[in-house]
Amino acid sequence: MFKIGDRVVYKGKVCSIVSKNEDSYTLIPIEDNSLKITVKIENASFRNLLSKEEVMAIIKQMPSIEVLDIPDKMLEQEYKRLMTTGNHIDLIKIIKTTYLRNKNRLDNKKKIGDRDNNYFLQAENLLYTEFKEVLDMSYDEVKEYVIKSIENLNN
């Protein structure tokens, strides 16, 4: 059972439980404390934050996670689907795919794609917001930490 003060993930957003009564929880996203979310206890579809060990295991997996290899016209539908799974590996697939697609465009002197850039930023935000809470770092520190960890794994 969850209690007031617990940090949880609800629909991909890290939230704090600020109140609880006999039939519902009230959550406030840590990234937007002006928003209050009421969730019925019987429908409470949120989870605990990852542990530090789980975050480290995901980071170690990152180099081996495959990019999406599907036709261009199906990418947005797949991005949307992966964004809603609540699976960290799916977010990493989006990040890696969109990063490489945009890098390829830049290398060919083209403008980066708005669709890929938007999904890249959304997936990064969901992933790193939870990681920063677990690792007790800032968003930028987490991003830098992940990049350095991957570089060390590849050396």
Q: What is the predicted pLDDT for the residue at 152?
A: 83
Q: What is the predicted pLDDT for the residue at 153?
A: 77
Q: Where are the domains of the chain?
A: 7-48, 52-154
Q: What is the predicted pLDDT for the residue at 37?
A: 93
Q: What is the predicted pLDDT for the residue at 97?
A: 94
Closest Cα to residue 15, out of 42, 48, 41?
48
Q: What is the predicted pLDDT for the residue at 154?
A: 72
Residues of the chain falling short of pLDDT 70? 155
* Helix, strand, coil percentages, rounded to 5, for the chain: 55, 15, 30
Q: What is the predicted pLDDT for the residue at 155?
A: 67
d(CA 87, CA 28): 21
Q: What is the predicted pLDDT for the residue at 42?
A: 85
Name the CATH superfamily housing domain 52-154: CarD-like, C-terminal domain (1.20.58.1290)
Q: What is the CA radius of gyration of the chain?
A: 17
